[in-house]
Amino acid sequence: MNIKDNIKTIIIKKPLKLDCGQIIKNFPLAYETYGSLNEKKDNAILVCHALTGDQFVTGLNPITKKDGWWSYAVGPKKSIDTNKYFIICANVIGGCMGSFGPGHTNPETKKIYGTDFPVITINDIVNAQVNLLDHFGIKKLFSVVGGSMGGMQVLQFVSNFPEKAKTAVPIACTSSHSAQNIAFNELGRQAITADHNWSDGKYFLNNSVPEKGLAVARMAAHITYLSKKGLQEKFGRKLQERDTLKFSFDADFQIESYLRYQGSVFVDRFDANSYLYITRAMDYFDLTKQFNGNLSDAFKGCKTKFFIISFTSDWLYPTTENREIVIALNAIGADVGFIEINSDKGHDSFLLNIPDFLNAVKNFLNNSYNNIHETRI
C-alpha cells in the first residue's frame, strides 16, 4: 500500500523525550485538515482518533477509498461543522498512516524498526500532536474532541496543556485502562504473535504479514465494540446464505461471516506492529496514577469547559468510568457537563448515526463557540 502521495506530514525537529526514556527527533507527523482557519485562528478543533482510526476523519479516505471514520459527525453543517470550524487530525505516532511508527527506518541502523521501535504512551502521542498547533500558528484550540482512545488523548491533552483548549469533549472513554480491557488487548496481541508469519515482528523482511493473527485480533476487539442486544437484533441465530446447518466449521451463522469479513478487510489497511504498539499505549494509560492517585489533580487550575459523553450499552468504557471523570472535575469546581446517550449499539455508538449523540455534540460546540464570541463583544 503506497500511501506517501496522499499524506500530509510535518517533520518535528524538536527533540521529544518519550516516557520510556528514549529521545526522538526529526520524526514525521502525518495529519489532515478540513475547513478553513479563520483570521483570528480561534476556530480550530483537534480531533483525536481511536485505536484503528487515522487522520482521514471525513470525506473520502484517499488510501482506503472509503468514507472517513467519522463522516457522520464531521462535515458541512454536521455536528462538527467544517463550514464553521477548522478541523485538524493527526495520525498517532506508532501508527501506520504516515506518522513515525514501527514501519519507519531507524536512522541509526538504517533498518526498519519493527519491534525495535520504542514503546509509546498516550502522553507521548499527545506531546507529539501539540506541535501541529505551532505549525498552524494556533495559540489556543477552540476544542479538542475524541472518542475511545481519542478521548484518552483529550484528557491527557488538557492535563498537559491546560491553557491550550477552550473546550474539551471526551467521548466513551476512561481515565485509566481497566484489567478487562488490558486482557482484551493482550488477547489480540497474542493472536498476532502466535501467527507463523510473525517472525518476531520482522515479517516485512520476508515480505509477509501475520494476516491470520491480525484478523483474529480485529475480530476479538470488534466484539467488544458492540452490545449483546445489538448483536442479537442484527444477527440472532440467522444462518449465512443457507437454510440448514452444514455440520462443518465453515461460517454457518451470519455473525461468524460478519466477524470474518471485519478481520479480512482490516489486514488490508492496518499494520500488525502498529496494533501492538497502540494497544500497549492504551493499556499504559492511567491518568490517576500519573497524579499519585488523585485524578482531580490532573486538571487543577484548568479553565477548559468539558462535555463528557457516554452510552448506555457501552460495556467497554461504561458510564461508571466516564462518571469518575465528571466527579474528579466537579471536585475542583471545573466547568463540566455530562450526558449519557441511550443507544443499543455499544461502544461503537460514537461512530454511528445516533441523532441524540450528534445533536448533543453539535449543540455543545455551537453554543460554546457563540458564548465565547458574545462575551468578547
Q: Residue 178's closest CA among 281, 285, 277, 280?
A: 285
Q: How many CB atoms lie within 10 A of CB 272?
A: 27
148 part of the active site:
yes
DSSP designation for 295: G
In order, the DSSP letters of 19-83 are TTS-EE-SEEEEEEEES---TTS--EEEEE--TT--S--SSB-TTT-SB-TTTTTEETTSSEETT
What is the CA 59 to chain-centroid distance, rounded?
A: 18
Q: How many CB atoms lie within 10 A of CB 123?
A: 21
- Dihedral sign, CA of 249, 252, 253, 259? positive
**Active-site residue, selected from the candidate residues 159, 347, 349, 368:** 347
208 part of the active site:
no
* Dist. CA 165–CA 221, nearest whole Å: 31
49 part of the active site:
no
**Active-site residue, selected from the candidate residues 81, 314, 344, 348:** 314
**Active-site residue, selected from the candidate residues 148, 310, 349, 368:** 148
Catalytic residues: 148, 314, 347
